[in-house]
Structure 1
Amino acid sequence: MAKKSLLTAAVVMMSASPTAKSEVNMPTRTQAPVAQKKPMKLTQHGDTRVDDYYWLRDDSRQDEAVLSYLHQENDYTETMLSHTAQLQQTLYQEMVGRLQQNDQSVPYKKKDYWYSHRYHEGKEHPILVRNKGTVNAPDELLLDANEQAKGHDYYSLGDTAISHNQGLMAFSEDTQSRRLYTIQIKDLRSSKLLTDKLTGTSGCMVWANDNKTLYYVKKDPQTLLPNQVYKHVIGTPQSADELVYEEKDASYYVSLHKSTSEDYVVIGMYATNSSEARYIDANQPESVVEIFKPRDAKVEYTLDHFKGRFMVKTNRTGKNFALFSVSPAQRGDLSKWQELAAAQSDVLLQTYELFDDWLVLEERVNGLVQLRQVHWQTGKQKKIQFNDPTYTAWVSFNPDTSSNKLRYGYTSLTTPTSTFEVDLNTDTQTTLKQQVVNGEFSAEHYQSERVWVAARDGTKVPVSLVYRQDKFNQDGSNPLLIYAYGSYGSSEDAMFSAEFLSLLDRGFVYAIAHVRGGEELGRQWYEDGKLQNKQNTFNDFIDVTQALTKQGYGDKQKVFAMGGSAGGLLMGVVANEAPELYKGVVAQVPFVDVVTTMSDESIPLTTGEYDEWGNPANSDDYHYIKAYSPYDQVKAQAYPNMLVTTGLHDSQVQYWEPAKWVAKLRDLKQGDNMLLLDVDMETGHGGKSGRFQQYLDTAKEYAFILDLAGIKQ
């Protein structure tokens, strides 16, 4: 990341000592940036909060005073971590060195072609190809994302969509890191890009079956909410595109997908607790948009179509979801819905896959995924069994419904990501690919465990652990890194990641705390960690930390915590509530200014998340959120060593949240522990783009942790 020193001393003051503040131009190892205070009073429900650093918000991201402060923070971070430069380089080379430089995805067959993507040595981005008839046929280049990325500091390839006749490909690209995508169309017969260019989109698009009509989702330019569906006809300007649906309720997000039958374009509208689907006849793009079933409060459903019937996954009959089918003509009569898989109190239905002969259900039981297959005609059922103590599995992409072979993915903390194919009739299983880990990696050297920790209210919280066997000390002297997320019902599963080896091989124990707020133990697990139950998420993490050290998985003096986005909120809360437990905390793109953000409907994503966090316009919600909001609860106390990361162009958690948080922490924190803010001036929420560049950030974070643990190389 290129850094520019735009120093404006009138705006940013530098601290020369804990008691004296003076203006200087460049930070030194002992001088941390101290942002100027410009008090702003924010009053709600008769309660006034004073925000000294509200001025750090700049929606244009061009204010020189703000940029000056951010650059000074970067300079300070670079100075404070300069002694780890060699360690960072060593870690980066280790991580990149484990990658298979020339790599290829497992090809999948759709209609006449086998599709795959490849990586070439030294290249950051994928190359998309297809082969006609067989995988051994000559390559047909679809897109070289490396060529597309040229001239851009940031580049991310979004979705691709192949037309019904396989002659056209639409693809979406983000070159700003704001998750605003531009859609382009390539004629695969001539290998030329068409002049069509659709801007301001979510990157989601679906072809009608006439091979000239493309539906896509457009975002609100200010809030970045995906709220409109447009119809584009090839060869016409975007200004002529027809608006076919607009979502007026800002708590819903809009998306598109093609039904399994390819007969319908499905428009999905999703809120936290409610959803709705509409559909368009893909064979008649001029047809009107039909509503499947009007939205109901606290009723969610997703829609597909297969063999003349709609397939509906819904929580209407149970919070862990059931699967139904119904004919289009009878969709409004719930008594006509045929139950294919009943809702169960102890089994979460995550998704499903449709074949001519088999229905495959991806379910979560006791926190772990199982794949269950049901024969349409006979009702015969079978399950695919897994043996690791903690793992995850998922249904892969299976576009050929006439096949009897299911592709699925599998990984664990000790098993590299693998793609399998199982014959649903004979149970014969084939390994199509397993992630190659270069170097001296051997799965037998590592041990994974799954333990349960009793939280303070008696609830048992699952924890996944991994360590290198010959580095694990029975006396509890290992350094320990605990990771968690715990929001939005997103399950933080135990997955293999080659970069973890750089910690494990140096003696670390790595733990994933499956705290409430995720969906590991079903829908209730999520509901017990949101809204007025959000404190459970934070308590779980703290209780897991104490239990793991008590049980000998880590040294109390060498415990580290890490989390990103909503997991960064978790880091902020535990740093406030239990700072003594952690030697260091890495808060990645943290959502820490919860009250202010959730009170401002102009900030992207706010309105869609009232059912997750609460709406501060409601007095009860306001006071509950304020009681844990990390920015509002910073106090004069000793804090752990902290590395806080953000991206200037972050559209999910605006950069000013972590920037304000660090400024306030620096003003109030006691002691000499490090407090570092690392701002990537070119990227957004997901960090650096490209296959290799992302490891620069990981190497920096790991070096920060390892150095604090006394491991210097």
Structure 2
Amino acid sequence: MVTPFASSFLCLYLQAPASNMSTIADNAATYRPVPPVAKKVEHRMELFGDVRIDNYYWLRDDSRSDADVLAYLRQENEYTDSVMSATRQLEDQLFAEIKGRIKEDDITAPVRKGSYYYYERTLTGKEYVQHCRSLVSNAESSPTVYDDMPTGPEAPLEHVILDENIKAKDHSFYRIGAFKVSPNNNLVAYAEDKRGNEIHTVHIINVETGEPIGKPLENVTSYLEWAGDENLVYITMDEILRPAKVWLHKLGTEQSSDICLYHEEDDTFSLELHASESEQFLFVASESKTTTIGWYLDVSKPGELKILMPRVCGVDASFSHRGNHFFIRRRTDEFFNSELLACPIDNIFETSLLIPHRKSVKIQDLQLFKDHLVLYERENGLQKVTVYDLPEIDKPLKGLESGRRIEFIDPVYSVDRLESQFSTSILRFSYSSMKTPPSVYAYDMNSGVSVLKKVETVLGGFDASNYVTERKWATAFDGTQIPLSIVYHKNLVKLDSSDPLLLYGYGSYEICIDPYFKGSRLSLLDRGFIFAIAHIRGGGEMGRPWYENGKFLNKKNTFTDFIACAEYLIENKYCTSEKLCIDGRSAGGLLIGAVLNMRPDLFKAAIAGVPFVDVLTTMLDPTIPLTTSEWEEWGDPRKEEFYFYMKSYSPVDNVKAQKYPHILVMAGLHDPRVMYSEPAKFVAKLRDLKTDDNMLLFKCQFGAGHFSNSGRFERLREDAFVCAFLLKALDMIPDPESHKS
């Protein structure tokens, strides 16, 4: 039986007259693959007097088991493989090149916890990490920035707690979502995902023996924390994969007897869980996109949750603890960039203001120590790390004086907080830029001394001085200045409009895409590419208003900002439209889909990873995971104003008969965030309507979810594939076959 998606070669073969059969066989070497054509099954949707016809709605299969759907996805994968077959040798070369830059046998910067150093080790040829620990040789000494775990003959005996390579052996996907060591260092609880759907199983083991403690906890999120040495707190999801219930589990008991501490029934809210740096409290937050409700749990006597932040619409917060006080980062409509408050544990309504709201500075995160407070802030689009001295732990708290700012050297960069010991004065953080590999620093908050503890090794002759990073500003249609981060090889780029350029964008959820280092990107930079990040509205780079002006009925600002950045790069001779490629993932994939419909003439090639492209249909269906919680991001299309606005930019709804650039779309079959059917429908509709012969490729990973493949080399292989696609689209490789399809 021939399925509705018979192989491309078979379709071509069956359509040929008998007299041409020998010609087809004789010319197999010059055979051009024919793209699969998805069948059309009319699905009518009507709202507010508006009728939409979705011929590819049938591609949605919640069970991921429909034979016709799977056959179509395999057809697309086979077609992609066929089109890219001529670049297979280049892809292999790129993979070897990218892989050759990493130090395969390595360890992460050790984290001291009590009498042990904890770290992860990678082994030559192995896809996954080992979770390890070693004894601290002088555990009684106070940590300093100069402390290091001994190496060589003096290295302490290493104990492998968990080897992910062994656990992943029989699975096409394997990822540890949480790895939590008990306060007494005797036990570990880890959450594993074996499908990519972000539904975890939690195992509790003895650190030394690896023996399991009780039965695993099933169907759990990655939110997992210890409450003392004998209890775990975790969160489970409801039928639409919304984190909805928080539970208390006593070791050695059945999961069925666990105590539900809270059930969030409002489907626009989702639960989160984290531990205070002091390890004395756990905080549970129920959050929408604008509002937070907060509770705390004393880990010394876990029982009921106690309220810390009541539900007040439009008030968002995060929490921490030190001594006799809770610390609260609070955002309101008036104080949109957040203020920092403190309140006594025994009277949460008696708040004192520590750091006032500032219109130009956004408080993004905070980290507490026994004697210090660290604020992670943003000003004018750049990250700041500021250290404040705190009074003795049992003294009253009041407004804090000016802090000490940690200085960074690159014009654009990225800083991430790392786990640090609460009782010390040593702050650990990771720093990188578009030309600086991730580097772990220990910073003494008393002396101001900063010591580099580890820098990610980049092999293959990498020299950071060969690369230039820049910060530029594009002007949006309404006059808003949009920051751009740019990197290129100083000896290969001419800046005369002849250079190829890859422009990346995201622009949603107040997420900041800071200028970061990526080793595989060097394969493009070293071939003369320029790489740029457009920090467009909808993200959080320039403060809370930056986000507000790129969501709801302002969402189109995200797309027009990106177009303005592209036009700026062309006008300033970084590239031409014939050399301009674009890239985005997830909500960034929505960005790519939208601008392709709006300005297909502006780009040569586009990459859309797990793209959220069927916005209107998805947001109208509350049974799809995450939909209800997303109404405060995109709007609720059950309201007429939002319906027509979302329809005006939703990529699937705006595909039309016009020429499009070369396009590569990627998806994960088990993705719980953007269902594979969205990109599948987008590709099917593009195939039906587009009027060009440019490449349109769809690659669906059958063993992956939202975050691509789980093995480190598998991810590098995907990077190599994307690089090969870009080089092919730009005719930058010798190719005997036309790339037209």
TM-score (norm 2): 0.91
Which of 349, 354, 361 pairs up with 2:375? Answer: 361
More strand by share: 1
| 1:394 equivalenced with 2:384 (yes/no) | no
Amino acid at match of 1:184: H
Amino acid at match of 1:512: I
Q: Deviations over 1:298-322 (max 9, x none)?
A: 1101122211211111113611111
After superposition, the Cα gap between the structure-2 partners of 1:7 and 1:94, relative to the gap in structure 1 and judged at 3 Å, is: farther
Q: What is the CA–CA distance in structure 2 between the aligned matches of 1:424 and 1:662, rounded to whole Å?
A: 53
Which of 114, 118, 127 pairs up with 2:117? Answer: 114
| 1:186 equivalenced with 2:205 (yes/no) | yes
| 1:601 equivalenced with 2:646 (yes/no) | no
Amino acid at match of 2:412: T
After superposition, the Cα gap between the structure-2 partners of 1:64 and 1:21, relative to the gap in structure 1 and judged at 3 Å, is: farther
Structure 1 runs of 4+ aligned residues shifted over 3 Å read 10-17, 377-380
Counterparts in 2 of 1:187-206, with a 5 A limit? 187-206=206-225
Which of 373, 387, 404 pairs up with 1:382? Answer: 404
Which of 446, 465, 476 pairs up with 2:467? Answer: 446
Which of 85, 110, 129 pairs up with 2:132? Answer: 129
Q: What is the CA–CA distance in structure 2 between the aligned matches of 1:355 and 1:269, rounded to whole Å?
A: 25
Aligned residue number for residue 239 of structure 1: 256
| 1:298 equivalenced with 2:314 (yes/no) | yes
After superposition, the Cα gap between the structure-2 partners of 1:12 and 1:527, relative to the gap in structure 1 and judged at 3 Å, is: farther
Aligned residue number for residue 394 of structure 2: none
- Residue 260 of structure 1 and its aligned partner are, at CA, apart by 2.4
Aligned residue number for residue 73 of structure 1: 76
Contact persistence 1:452–1:461 (CA under 8 A): yes
Aligned residue number for residue 311 of structure 1: 327
Aligned residue number for residue 34 of structure 1: 37
Which of 277, 292, 295 pairs up with 1:260? Answer: 277
Partner-residue secondary structure (3-state), 1:232 = strand
Amino acid at match of 1:174: D
| 1:9 equivalenced with 2:31 (yes/no) | no
After superposition, the Cα gap between the structure-2 partners of 1:413 and 1:552, relative to the gap in structure 1 and judged at 3 Å, is: same
Counterparts in 2 of 1:496-511, with a 5 A limit? 496-511=517-532
Contact persistence 1:14–1:34 (CA under 8 A): no
- Residue 203 of structure 1 and its aligned partner are, at CA, apart by 1.9
Q: What is the CA–CA distance in structure 2 between the aligned matches of 1:686 and 1:41, rounded to whole Å?
A: 32
Amino acid at match of 1:310: F
Q: What is the CA–CA distance in structure 1 between the aligned matches of 2:318 and 2:198, rounded to whole Å?
A: 24
Amino acid at match of 1:410: Y
Q: What is the CA–CA distance in structure 2 between the aligned matches of 1:628 and 1:555, rounded to whole Å?
A: 25
- Residue 425 of structure 1 and its aligned partner are, at CA, apart by 1.8
Counterparts in 2 of 1:324-363, with a 5 A limit? 324-331=341-348, 333=349, 336-363=350-377
Counterparts in 2 of 1:456-467, with a 5 A limit? 456-467=477-488
TM-score (norm 1): 0.95
Aligned residue number for residue 57 of structure 1: 60
Aligned residue number for residue 397 of structure 2: none
Q: What is the CA–CA distance in structure 1 between the aligned matches of 2:16 and 2:244, rounded to whole Å?
A: 48
After superposition, the Cα gap between the structure-2 partners of 1:21 and 1:238, relative to the gap in structure 1 and judged at 3 Å, is: farther
Q: What is the CA–CA distance in structure 2 between the aligned matches of 1:474 and 1:241, rounded to whole Å?
A: 63
Contact persistence 2:4–2:39 (CA under 8 A): no
5+ residue gaps in structure 2?
138-148, 150-154, 392-399, 735-741
| 1:223 equivalenced with 2:240 (yes/no) | yes
Contact persistence 2:9–2:33 (CA under 8 A): no
Partner-residue secondary structure (3-state), 2:307 = strand
Aligned residue number for residue 478 of structure 1: 499
After superposition, the Cα gap between the structure-2 partners of 1:306 and 1:471, relative to the gap in structure 1 and judged at 3 Å, is: same
What is the alpha-carbon root mean square deviation over aligned residues?
2.0
Partner-residue secondary structure (3-state), 2:414 = strand
| 1:284 equivalenced with 2:301 (yes/no) | yes
- Residue 214 of structure 1 and its aligned partner are, at CA, apart by 1.1
Q: Deviations over 1:635-680 (max 9, x none)?
A: 1111111111101111110000000111111100002111111111
Contact persistence 2:506–2:587 (CA under 8 A): yes
Q: Percent identity?
A: 39
- Residue 550 of structure 1 and its aligned partner are, at CA, apart by 0.9
- Residue 21 of structure 1 and its aligned partner are, at CA, apart by 12
Amino acid at match of 2:99: V
Amino acid at match of 1:9: P
Partner-residue secondary structure (3-state), 1:501 = helix
Contact persistence 1:258–1:265 (CA under 8 A): yes
Q: What is the CA–CA distance in structure 2 between the aligned matches of 1:164 and 1:487, rounded to whole Å?
A: 37
Q: What is the CA–CA distance in structure 2 between the aligned matches of 1:126 and 1:111, rounded to whole Å?
A: 23
Q: What is the CA–CA distance in structure 2 between the aligned matches of 1:292 and 1:620, rounded to whole Å?
A: 36
Contact persistence 1:13–1:35 (CA under 8 A): no
Q: Deviations over 1:333-365 (max 9, x none)?
A: 2xx311121111011111112122221111111
- Residue 30 of structure 1 and its aligned partner are, at CA, apart by 4.2
Aligned residue number for residue 158 of structure 2: 139
| 1:553 equivalenced with 2:574 (yes/no) | yes
| 1:664 equivalenced with 2:672 (yes/no) | no
| 1:516 equivalenced with 2:537 (yes/no) | yes
Q: What is the CA–CA distance in structure 2 between the aligned matches of 1:358 and 1:292, rounded to whole Å?
A: 23
- Residue 149 of structure 1 and its aligned partner are, at CA, apart by 0.8
Contact persistence 2:8–2:35 (CA under 8 A): no
Contact persistence 1:29–1:76 (CA under 8 A): no
Aligned residue number for residue 3 of structure 1: none
Q: What is the CA–CA distance in structure 1 between the aligned matches of 2:178 and 2:692, rounded to whole Å?
A: 48
Q: What is the CA–CA distance in structure 2 between the aligned matches of 1:51 and 1:283, rounded to whole Å?
A: 56
Which of 160, 170, 177 pairs up with 2:179? Answer: 160
5+ residue gaps in structure 1?
1-5
Q: What is the CA–CA distance in structure 2 between the aligned matches of 1:601 and 1:434, rounded to whole Å?
A: 45
| 1:151 equivalenced with 2:187 (yes/no) | no
Contact persistence 1:265–1:279 (CA under 8 A): yes
Contact persistence 2:320–2:368 (CA under 8 A): no
Amino acid at match of 2:410: D
